[in-house]
Structure 1
Protein backbone atom coordinates (compact mmCIF):
# COMPACT_ATOMS: atom_id res chain seq x y z
CA UNK A 1 0.00 0.00 0.00
CA UNK A 2 1.52 3.26 -1.11
CA UNK A 3 1.75 6.07 1.40
CA UNK A 4 0.91 9.57 0.28
CA UNK A 5 1.54 12.90 1.96
CA UNK A 6 -0.55 15.99 1.50
CA UNK A 7 0.54 19.58 1.27
CA UNK A 8 -0.99 20.21 4.68
CA UNK A 9 1.14 17.47 6.23
CA UNK A 10 4.25 18.92 4.56
CA UNK A 11 3.53 22.34 6.04
CA UNK A 12 2.90 20.79 9.44
CA UNK A 13 6.29 19.04 9.35
CA UNK A 14 8.05 22.27 8.34
CA UNK A 15 6.22 24.22 11.04
CA UNK A 16 7.06 21.59 13.63
CA UNK A 17 10.78 21.71 12.77
CA UNK A 18 10.92 25.42 12.01
CA UNK A 19 13.41 26.12 14.80
CA UNK A 20 15.78 23.49 13.39
CA UNK A 21 15.49 24.84 9.85
CA UNK A 22 16.03 28.46 10.92
CA UNK A 23 19.01 27.44 13.05
CA UNK A 24 20.67 25.68 10.11
CA UNK A 25 20.00 28.63 7.78
CA UNK A 26 21.46 31.15 10.23
CA UNK A 27 24.42 28.87 11.00
CA UNK A 28 25.20 28.34 7.32
CA UNK A 29 25.03 32.10 6.66
CA UNK A 30 27.35 32.86 9.58
CA UNK A 31 29.88 30.21 8.54
CA UNK A 32 29.84 31.50 4.96
CA UNK A 33 30.36 35.08 6.12
CA UNK A 34 33.25 34.11 8.39
CA UNK A 35 34.96 32.07 5.67
CA UNK A 36 34.39 34.77 3.03
CA UNK A 37 35.56 37.76 5.04
CA UNK A 38 38.28 36.25 7.23
CA UNK A 39 39.64 33.12 5.55
CA UNK A 40 39.51 33.62 1.78
CA UNK A 41 42.10 35.85 0.10
CA UNK A 42 40.56 38.47 -2.22
CA UNK A 43 41.75 38.34 -5.82
CA UNK A 44 41.95 41.21 -8.31
CA UNK A 45 41.79 41.17 -12.09
CA UNK A 46 43.58 43.27 -14.69
CA UNK A 47 43.02 42.93 -18.42
CA UNK A 48 44.68 44.14 -21.58
CA UNK A 49 43.66 43.79 -25.22
CA UNK A 50 45.72 43.52 -28.37
CA UNK A 51 45.21 42.72 -32.05
CA UNK A 52 47.42 40.53 -34.20
CA UNK A 53 47.62 40.82 -38.00
CA UNK A 54 49.28 38.43 -40.40
CA UNK A 55 52.35 39.72 -42.21
CA UNK A 56 51.58 41.51 -45.48
CA UNK A 57 54.05 40.92 -48.30
CA UNK A 58 52.93 44.05 -50.17
CA UNK A 59 52.47 47.14 -47.96
CA UNK A 60 50.08 48.63 -50.53
CA UNK A 61 47.91 45.52 -50.65
CA UNK A 62 44.40 45.69 -49.24
CA UNK A 63 42.99 43.18 -46.80
CA UNK A 64 40.62 40.72 -48.37
CA UNK A 65 38.20 38.17 -46.98
CA UNK A 66 40.77 35.38 -47.10
CA UNK A 67 43.27 37.40 -45.06
CA UNK A 68 40.71 38.09 -42.38
CA UNK A 69 39.61 34.44 -42.31
CA UNK A 70 43.21 33.32 -41.97
CA UNK A 71 43.78 35.71 -39.06
CA UNK A 72 40.67 34.45 -37.31
CA UNK A 73 41.79 30.86 -37.69
CA UNK A 74 45.15 31.74 -36.16
CA UNK A 75 43.63 33.31 -33.04
CA UNK A 76 43.40 29.94 -31.27
CA UNK A 77 47.06 29.36 -32.03
CA UNK A 78 47.95 32.74 -30.53
CA UNK A 79 45.96 31.90 -27.41
CA UNK A 80 47.99 28.73 -26.92
CA UNK A 81 51.32 30.41 -27.59
CA UNK A 82 50.75 33.26 -25.15
CA UNK A 83 50.23 30.76 -22.30
CA UNK A 84 53.13 28.55 -23.29
CA UNK A 85 56.35 28.30 -21.23
CA UNK A 86 58.19 30.07 -24.09
CA UNK A 87 56.32 33.25 -23.16
CA UNK A 88 55.59 32.80 -19.47
CA UNK A 89 59.13 31.87 -18.48
CA UNK A 90 60.31 35.24 -19.77
CA UNK A 91 57.47 36.93 -17.84
CA UNK A 92 58.61 35.20 -14.63
CA UNK A 93 62.17 36.32 -15.29
CA UNK A 94 61.27 39.93 -16.17
CA UNK A 95 59.11 40.41 -13.07
CA UNK A 96 61.42 38.34 -10.83
CA UNK A 97 58.51 36.20 -9.65
CA UNK A 98 58.85 33.44 -7.07
CA UNK A 99 56.49 31.12 -8.95
CA UNK A 100 56.98 28.79 -11.89
CA UNK A 101 55.60 29.28 -15.39
CA UNK A 102 53.05 26.55 -14.66
CA UNK A 103 51.76 28.44 -11.62
CA UNK A 104 51.70 31.66 -13.62
CA UNK A 105 49.64 29.92 -16.28
CA UNK A 106 46.87 29.44 -13.71
CA UNK A 107 46.76 33.20 -13.21
CA UNK A 108 46.47 34.03 -16.91
CA UNK A 109 43.31 33.77 -19.01
CA UNK A 110 43.34 34.38 -22.76
CA UNK A 111 40.15 34.79 -24.76
CA UNK A 112 38.82 36.33 -27.94
CA UNK A 113 35.36 37.25 -29.09
CA UNK A 114 33.77 35.24 -31.87
CA UNK A 115 34.86 36.38 -35.35
CA UNK A 116 37.19 38.96 -33.84
CA UNK A 117 40.95 39.45 -34.11
CA UNK A 118 41.04 41.17 -30.72
CA UNK A 119 42.62 39.06 -27.96
CA UNK A 120 42.00 39.77 -24.28
CA UNK A 121 44.52 38.77 -21.64
CA UNK A 122 43.28 38.72 -18.04
CA UNK A 123 45.60 38.28 -15.06
CA UNK A 124 44.41 37.46 -11.53
CA UNK A 125 46.38 38.03 -8.34
CA UNK A 126 45.81 39.10 -4.70
CA UNK A 127 47.87 42.22 -5.51
CA UNK A 128 46.06 44.47 -8.02
CA UNK A 129 49.29 46.13 -9.14
CA UNK A 130 50.96 42.79 -9.76
CA UNK A 131 47.91 41.63 -11.70
CA UNK A 132 48.30 44.62 -14.04
CA UNK A 133 52.03 43.95 -14.40
CA UNK A 134 51.37 40.32 -15.25
CA UNK A 135 48.91 41.21 -18.00
CA UNK A 136 51.05 43.96 -19.54
CA UNK A 137 54.33 42.02 -19.34
CA UNK A 138 52.76 38.92 -20.89
CA UNK A 139 51.55 40.93 -23.88
CA UNK A 140 54.88 42.71 -24.25
CA UNK A 141 56.85 39.46 -24.21
CA UNK A 142 54.41 37.96 -26.70
CA UNK A 143 54.83 40.95 -29.00
CA UNK A 144 58.62 40.66 -28.87
CA UNK A 145 58.85 36.91 -29.44
CA UNK A 146 55.98 36.21 -31.83
CA UNK A 147 57.88 37.36 -34.98
CA UNK A 148 60.45 34.61 -34.42
CA UNK A 149 57.77 32.01 -33.67
CA UNK A 150 55.26 32.76 -36.43
CA UNK A 151 55.02 34.90 -39.54
CA UNK A 152 53.50 37.85 -37.67
CA UNK A 153 54.79 41.37 -37.94
CA UNK A 154 52.18 43.47 -36.19
CA UNK A 155 50.96 43.22 -32.59
CA UNK A 156 49.08 46.34 -31.54
CA UNK A 157 48.03 46.89 -27.94
CA UNK A 158 44.54 48.35 -27.83
CA UNK A 159 44.21 48.96 -24.10
CA UNK A 160 46.93 48.23 -21.53
CA UNK A 161 46.03 46.97 -18.06
CA UNK A 162 45.65 49.74 -15.50
CA UNK A 163 44.89 49.86 -11.78
CA UNK A 164 42.15 52.23 -10.69
CA UNK A 165 42.21 54.31 -7.50
CA UNK A 166 39.89 51.92 -5.64
CA UNK A 167 40.18 48.46 -7.19
CA UNK A 168 37.48 45.96 -6.25
CA UNK A 169 38.23 42.26 -5.84
CA UNK A 170 36.55 39.89 -8.24
CA UNK A 171 36.53 37.09 -5.69
CA UNK A 172 35.30 36.08 -3.25
CA UNK A 173 31.77 37.48 -3.66
CA UNK A 174 30.25 37.82 -0.17
CA UNK A 175 26.60 38.26 -1.18
CA UNK A 176 26.71 35.34 -3.60
CA UNK A 177 28.44 33.06 -1.11
CA UNK A 178 26.05 33.94 1.72
CA UNK A 179 23.05 33.53 -0.57
CA UNK A 180 24.20 30.07 -1.64
CA UNK A 181 24.85 29.15 2.01
CA UNK A 182 21.34 30.24 3.01
CA UNK A 183 19.82 28.17 0.21
CA UNK A 184 21.86 25.11 1.13
CA UNK A 185 21.07 25.57 4.82
CA UNK A 186 17.35 25.69 4.07
CA UNK A 187 17.54 22.60 1.86
CA UNK A 188 19.49 20.65 4.47
CA UNK A 189 17.16 21.81 7.25
CA UNK A 190 14.03 20.72 5.37
CA UNK A 191 15.67 17.41 4.49
CA UNK A 192 16.62 16.72 8.12
CA UNK A 193 13.11 17.72 9.25
CA UNK A 194 11.48 15.15 6.98
CA UNK A 195 14.10 12.54 7.90
CA UNK A 196 13.36 12.99 11.60
CA UNK A 197 9.64 12.82 10.89
CA UNK A 198 10.16 9.61 8.93
CA UNK A 199 12.23 8.01 11.70
CA UNK A 200 9.70 9.03 14.39
CA UNK A 201 7.64 5.85 14.97
CA UNK A 202 5.75 7.00 18.06
CA UNK A 203 1.97 6.70 18.07
CA UNK A 204 0.25 10.07 18.14
CA UNK A 205 -3.34 9.41 17.04
CA UNK A 206 -5.95 6.68 16.65
CA UNK A 207 -5.09 6.54 12.95
CA UNK A 208 -1.54 5.48 13.87
CA UNK A 209 -2.93 2.69 16.07
CA UNK A 210 -5.06 1.37 13.23
CA UNK A 211 -2.22 1.61 10.70
CA UNK A 212 0.62 0.22 12.83
CA UNK A 213 -1.10 -2.21 15.20
CA UNK A 214 -4.05 -3.25 13.05
CA UNK A 215 -6.52 -3.19 15.95
CA UNK A 216 -9.73 -1.17 16.18
CA UNK A 217 -9.97 1.85 18.45
CA UNK A 218 -12.68 1.42 21.10
CA UNK A 219 -12.47 4.87 22.62
CA UNK A 220 -10.35 7.96 23.08
CA UNK A 221 -9.56 9.72 26.35
CA UNK A 222 -9.28 13.38 25.65
CA UNK A 223 -6.80 15.57 27.46
CA UNK A 224 -8.36 18.53 29.28
CA UNK A 225 -6.61 21.62 30.55
CA UNK A 226 -7.88 24.00 33.18
CA UNK A 227 -8.94 26.42 30.47
CA UNK A 228 -11.23 23.72 29.01
CA UNK A 229 -13.30 23.52 32.24
CA UNK A 230 -16.36 25.82 32.28
CA UNK A 231 -16.25 28.28 35.19
CA UNK A 232 -19.92 27.79 36.07
CA UNK A 233 -19.41 24.03 36.57
CA UNK A 234 -16.47 24.66 38.88
CA UNK A 235 -18.48 27.14 40.93
CA UNK A 236 -21.33 24.63 41.25
CA UNK A 237 -18.97 21.99 42.60
CA UNK A 238 -17.51 24.47 45.11
CA UNK A 239 -20.99 25.56 46.33
CA UNK A 240 -22.15 21.99 46.82
CA UNK A 241 -19.03 21.22 48.75
CA UNK A 242 -19.63 24.14 51.11
CA UNK A 243 -23.29 23.07 51.70
CA UNK A 244 -22.27 19.50 52.39
CA UNK A 245 -23.96 18.29 49.26
CA UNK A 246 -21.26 15.67 48.78
CA UNK A 247 -20.24 12.90 51.10
CA UNK A 248 -16.81 12.74 52.54
CA UNK A 249 -15.82 10.21 49.95
CA UNK A 250 -17.10 12.41 47.15
CA UNK A 251 -15.25 15.45 48.51
CA UNK A 252 -12.09 13.40 48.64
CA UNK A 253 -12.58 12.40 45.03
CA UNK A 254 -12.98 16.02 44.01
Structure 2
Protein backbone atom coordinates (compact mmCIF):
# COMPACT_ATOMS: atom_id res chain seq x y z
CA UNK A 1 0.00 0.00 0.00
CA UNK A 2 1.42 3.37 -1.01
CA UNK A 3 2.09 5.68 1.91
CA UNK A 4 1.62 9.43 1.72
CA UNK A 5 2.83 12.16 4.04
CA UNK A 6 0.82 15.27 4.75
CA UNK A 7 2.06 18.81 5.20
CA UNK A 8 1.16 18.55 8.87
CA UNK A 9 3.36 15.49 9.29
CA UNK A 10 6.24 17.29 7.59
CA UNK A 11 5.99 20.17 10.05
CA UNK A 12 5.75 17.71 12.93
CA UNK A 13 8.98 16.03 11.82
CA UNK A 14 10.73 19.38 11.47
CA UNK A 15 9.44 20.49 14.87
CA UNK A 16 10.53 17.23 16.44
CA UNK A 17 14.08 17.50 15.06
CA UNK A 18 14.32 21.29 15.23
CA UNK A 19 17.19 21.18 17.70
CA UNK A 20 19.22 18.89 15.43
CA UNK A 21 18.56 21.09 12.39
CA UNK A 22 19.60 24.27 14.21
CA UNK A 23 22.71 22.58 15.61
CA UNK A 24 23.88 21.35 12.22
CA UNK A 25 23.09 24.68 10.56
CA UNK A 26 25.14 26.78 12.96
CA UNK A 27 27.90 24.16 13.15
CA UNK A 28 28.29 24.26 9.37
CA UNK A 29 28.35 28.07 9.41
CA UNK A 30 30.94 28.06 12.20
CA UNK A 31 33.17 25.56 10.40
CA UNK A 32 32.88 27.58 7.19
CA UNK A 33 33.79 30.80 9.00
CA UNK A 34 36.78 29.24 10.78
CA UNK A 35 38.04 27.70 7.54
CA UNK A 36 37.65 31.01 5.75
CA UNK A 37 39.51 33.09 8.31
CA UNK A 38 42.16 30.64 9.49
CA UNK A 39 42.81 27.98 6.84
CA UNK A 40 42.20 29.58 3.42
CA UNK A 41 45.02 31.79 2.16
CA UNK A 42 43.66 35.14 0.92
CA UNK A 43 44.46 36.03 -2.67
CA UNK A 44 44.72 39.43 -4.33
CA UNK A 45 44.34 40.42 -7.95
CA UNK A 46 45.59 43.27 -10.07
CA UNK A 47 44.90 44.19 -13.68
CA UNK A 48 46.78 45.80 -16.54
CA UNK A 49 45.24 46.76 -19.88
CA UNK A 50 46.55 47.17 -23.41
CA UNK A 51 44.85 48.24 -26.61
CA UNK A 52 45.23 46.73 -30.03
CA UNK A 53 45.10 49.49 -32.66
CA UNK A 54 46.27 50.39 -36.12
CA UNK A 55 49.29 52.56 -36.79
CA UNK A 56 48.19 55.89 -38.27
CA UNK A 57 49.62 59.38 -38.63
CA UNK A 58 47.87 62.72 -38.78
CA UNK A 59 47.12 62.49 -42.51
CA UNK A 60 45.79 58.95 -42.46
CA UNK A 61 42.18 58.10 -41.76
CA UNK A 62 41.01 55.25 -39.61
CA UNK A 63 40.22 52.15 -41.63
CA UNK A 64 37.14 50.40 -40.26
CA UNK A 65 38.22 47.08 -41.77
CA UNK A 66 41.56 47.35 -40.01
CA UNK A 67 39.78 47.93 -36.71
CA UNK A 68 37.73 44.78 -37.29
CA UNK A 69 40.91 42.89 -38.10
CA UNK A 70 42.45 44.07 -34.84
CA UNK A 71 39.40 42.91 -32.89
CA UNK A 72 39.56 39.48 -34.51
CA UNK A 73 43.28 39.07 -33.86
CA UNK A 74 42.77 39.70 -30.15
CA UNK A 75 41.73 36.06 -29.74
CA UNK A 76 45.15 35.05 -31.02
CA UNK A 77 46.83 37.52 -28.68
CA UNK A 78 44.93 36.05 -25.73
CA UNK A 79 46.51 32.67 -26.43
CA UNK A 80 50.00 34.09 -27.00
CA UNK A 81 49.98 35.99 -23.69
CA UNK A 82 49.59 32.76 -21.72
CA UNK A 83 52.05 30.79 -23.82
CA UNK A 84 55.36 29.53 -22.43
CA UNK A 85 57.22 31.87 -24.83
CA UNK A 86 55.92 34.87 -22.84
CA UNK A 87 55.54 33.39 -19.38
CA UNK A 88 59.00 31.83 -19.29
CA UNK A 89 60.43 35.32 -19.65
CA UNK A 90 58.10 36.62 -16.93
CA UNK A 91 59.27 33.87 -14.58
CA UNK A 92 62.91 34.75 -15.26
CA UNK A 93 62.41 38.50 -14.84
CA UNK A 94 60.52 38.18 -11.55
CA UNK A 95 62.72 35.28 -10.36
CA UNK A 96 59.68 33.18 -9.59
CA UNK A 97 59.97 29.65 -8.21
CA UNK A 98 57.04 28.32 -10.25
CA UNK A 99 56.80 27.05 -13.81
CA UNK A 100 55.19 28.83 -16.73
CA UNK A 101 52.22 26.44 -16.54
CA UNK A 102 51.68 27.28 -12.87
CA UNK A 103 51.97 30.99 -13.65
CA UNK A 104 49.40 30.58 -16.41
CA UNK A 105 46.89 29.48 -13.76
CA UNK A 106 47.39 32.83 -12.00
CA UNK A 107 46.66 34.90 -15.10
CA UNK A 108 43.33 35.62 -16.75
CA UNK A 109 43.05 37.38 -20.12
CA UNK A 110 39.71 38.88 -21.13
CA UNK A 111 38.30 41.38 -23.59
CA UNK A 112 34.83 42.77 -24.13
CA UNK A 113 33.03 41.75 -27.30
CA UNK A 114 33.99 43.95 -30.25
CA UNK A 115 36.46 45.83 -28.06
CA UNK A 116 40.12 46.46 -28.82
CA UNK A 117 40.97 46.66 -25.10
CA UNK A 118 42.41 43.55 -23.45
CA UNK A 119 42.59 43.16 -19.66
CA UNK A 120 45.27 40.97 -18.10
CA UNK A 121 44.46 40.07 -14.49
CA UNK A 122 46.97 38.40 -12.20
CA UNK A 123 46.10 36.69 -8.90
CA UNK A 124 48.55 35.97 -6.07
CA UNK A 125 48.62 35.73 -2.26
CA UNK A 126 51.01 38.70 -2.31
CA UNK A 127 49.36 41.90 -3.63
CA UNK A 128 52.72 43.34 -4.73
CA UNK A 129 53.49 40.19 -6.70
CA UNK A 130 50.05 40.32 -8.36
CA UNK A 131 50.85 43.85 -9.58
CA UNK A 132 54.30 42.79 -10.79
CA UNK A 133 52.97 39.76 -12.66
CA UNK A 134 50.26 41.74 -14.44
CA UNK A 135 52.59 44.56 -15.55
CA UNK A 136 55.52 42.31 -16.49
CA UNK A 137 53.28 40.00 -18.53
CA UNK A 138 51.85 42.86 -20.59
CA UNK A 139 55.25 44.49 -21.08
CA UNK A 140 56.85 41.21 -22.15
CA UNK A 141 54.01 40.52 -24.55
CA UNK A 142 54.36 43.98 -26.09
CA UNK A 143 58.11 43.48 -26.58
CA UNK A 144 57.70 40.07 -28.25
CA UNK A 145 54.63 40.52 -30.42
CA UNK A 146 56.58 42.28 -33.19
CA UNK A 147 58.92 39.29 -33.60
CA UNK A 148 56.12 36.74 -33.27
CA UNK A 149 53.59 38.24 -35.71
CA UNK A 150 55.50 41.04 -37.44
CA UNK A 151 53.06 43.67 -36.15
CA UNK A 152 53.40 46.66 -33.88
CA UNK A 153 49.85 47.44 -32.88
CA UNK A 154 49.92 46.88 -29.11
CA UNK A 155 50.00 49.84 -26.73
CA UNK A 156 49.72 49.72 -22.96
CA UNK A 157 46.53 51.48 -21.89
CA UNK A 158 46.89 51.26 -18.10
CA UNK A 159 49.27 49.58 -15.71
CA UNK A 160 48.46 47.71 -12.53
CA UNK A 161 49.00 49.69 -9.34
CA UNK A 162 49.22 48.62 -5.72
CA UNK A 163 46.37 50.01 -3.63
CA UNK A 164 47.08 51.65 -0.30
CA UNK A 165 44.94 49.05 1.47
CA UNK A 166 44.61 45.98 -0.79
CA UNK A 167 41.46 43.94 -0.35
CA UNK A 168 41.60 40.20 -1.07
CA UNK A 169 39.25 38.90 -3.72
CA UNK A 170 39.16 35.47 -2.14
CA UNK A 171 37.98 34.06 0.14
CA UNK A 172 34.68 35.84 0.69
CA UNK A 173 33.75 35.31 4.36
CA UNK A 174 30.08 36.32 4.21
CA UNK A 175 29.43 34.27 1.10
CA UNK A 176 31.15 31.20 2.55
CA UNK A 177 29.25 31.52 5.84
CA UNK A 178 25.96 31.90 3.95
CA UNK A 179 26.74 28.78 1.93
CA UNK A 180 27.60 26.97 5.16
CA UNK A 181 24.24 27.98 6.65
CA UNK A 182 22.32 26.73 3.63
CA UNK A 183 24.23 23.45 3.40
CA UNK A 184 23.93 22.89 7.15
CA UNK A 185 20.18 23.46 7.04
CA UNK A 186 19.81 21.12 4.06
CA UNK A 187 21.83 18.38 5.77
CA UNK A 188 19.90 18.88 9.01
CA UNK A 189 16.50 18.61 7.30
CA UNK A 190 17.60 15.60 5.29
CA UNK A 191 18.95 13.88 8.40
CA UNK A 192 15.74 14.66 10.29
CA UNK A 193 13.62 12.89 7.68
CA UNK A 194 16.11 10.02 7.45
CA UNK A 195 15.97 9.43 11.21
CA UNK A 196 12.20 9.63 11.12
CA UNK A 197 12.11 7.10 8.26
CA UNK A 198 14.41 4.68 10.10
CA UNK A 199 12.47 5.03 13.35
CA UNK A 200 9.99 2.12 13.27
CA UNK A 201 9.07 2.16 16.96
CA UNK A 202 5.43 2.36 18.02
CA UNK A 203 4.68 5.59 19.89
CA UNK A 204 1.02 6.45 19.40
CA UNK A 205 -2.35 4.76 19.09
CA UNK A 206 -2.30 5.59 15.39
CA UNK A 207 0.97 3.66 15.00
CA UNK A 208 -0.66 0.58 16.50
CA UNK A 209 -3.60 0.77 14.13
CA UNK A 210 -1.51 1.58 11.03
CA UNK A 211 1.55 -0.65 11.52
CA UNK A 212 0.07 -3.59 13.47
CA UNK A 213 -3.47 -3.40 12.07
CA UNK A 214 -4.87 -3.98 15.55
CA UNK A 215 -7.62 -2.13 17.41
CA UNK A 216 -6.69 -0.05 20.45
CA UNK A 217 -8.37 -1.46 23.56
CA UNK A 218 -6.97 0.94 26.09
CA UNK A 219 -4.34 3.55 26.75
CA UNK A 220 -2.03 3.87 29.73
CA UNK A 221 -1.59 7.54 30.35
CA UNK A 222 1.82 8.97 31.02
CA UNK A 223 2.08 10.34 34.55
CA UNK A 224 4.74 12.88 35.42
CA UNK A 225 6.64 12.90 38.69
CA UNK A 226 4.94 16.17 39.62
CA UNK A 227 1.56 14.56 39.05
CA UNK A 228 2.52 11.64 41.30
CA UNK A 229 3.61 14.05 44.02
CA UNK A 230 0.32 15.93 43.74
CA UNK A 231 -1.67 12.70 43.88
CA UNK A 232 0.34 11.57 46.92
CA UNK A 233 -0.32 14.84 48.70
CA UNK A 234 -4.00 14.64 47.91
CA UNK A 235 -4.19 11.04 49.14
CA UNK A 236 -2.38 11.96 52.35
CA UNK A 237 -4.72 14.87 52.95
CA UNK A 238 -7.79 12.68 52.45
CA UNK A 239 -6.47 10.01 54.80
CA UNK A 240 -5.66 12.57 57.48
CA UNK A 241 -9.16 14.02 57.17
CA UNK A 242 -10.72 10.55 57.43
CA UNK A 243 -8.62 9.80 60.51
CA UNK A 244 -9.71 13.04 62.17
CA UNK A 245 -13.34 12.33 61.38
CA UNK A 246 -13.02 8.77 62.66
CA UNK A 247 -11.31 10.02 65.82
CA UNK A 248 -14.09 12.57 66.42
CA UNK A 249 -16.80 9.94 65.99
CA UNK A 250 -14.99 7.65 68.48
CA UNK A 251 -14.87 10.38 71.11
CA UNK A 252 -18.59 11.11 70.73
CA UNK A 253 -19.43 7.43 71.13
CA UNK A 254 -17.37 7.25 74.32
2:123 is the alignment partner of 1:124? yes
The answer as to whether partners of 1:107 and 1:123 remain within 8 angstroms in 2 is yes
Distance 1:100 1:146 in 2: 21
Matching residue of 2:174: 175
Residues 187-217 of structure 1 deviation map (CA, whole Å, 9 limit, x = unaligned): 1011111111111111111111111111111
The answer as to whether partners of 1:44 and 1:127 remain within 8 angstroms in 2 is yes
Matching residue of 1:249: none
Matching residue of 2:38: 38
- CA shift at 1:54, angstroms? 4.2
Matching residue of 1:84: 83
- CA shift at 1:12, angstroms? 1.6
The answer as to whether partners of 1:55 and 1:151 remain within 8 angstroms in 2 is no
SS in 2 for 1:11: helix
Most deviating of 126-135 and 19-28: 19-28
SS in 1 for 2:221: coil
- CA shift at 1:98, angstroms? 0.9
2:132 is the alignment partner of 1:133? yes
2:18 is the alignment partner of 1:18? yes
TM-score, structure 2 as length reference: 0.88
Matches within 5 A, 1:82-231: 82-225=81-224, 226-227=226-227
Residues 204-249 of structure 1 deviation map (CA, whole Å, 9 limit, x = unaligned): 1111111111111122233344559799x7655653354359xxxx
Q: Give the CA RMSD over aligned residues.
A: 2.3
1:90 to 1:237, Cα distance in 2 relative to 1, 3 A? same
SS in 1 for 2:129: helix
Distance 2:127 2:21 in 1: 41
Distance 1:38 1:175 in 2: 14
Residues 62-97 of structure 1 deviation map (CA, whole Å, 9 limit, x = unaligned): 223211211111111110011111111111111111
Matching residue of 1:252: none
TM-score, structure 1 as length reference: 0.88
SS in 2 for 1:153: coil
Aligned length: 244
Distance 2:240 2:173 in 1: 67
SS in 1 for 2:53: strand
The answer as to whether partners of 2:52 and 2:71 remain within 8 angstroms in 1 is no
1:238 to 1:79, Cα distance in 2 relative to 1, 3 A? farther
- CA shift at 1:30, angstroms? 1.7
Most deviating of 68-77 and 46-55: 46-55
Matches within 5 A, 1:223-242: 223-225=222-224, 226-227=226-227, 239-240=241-242, 242=244
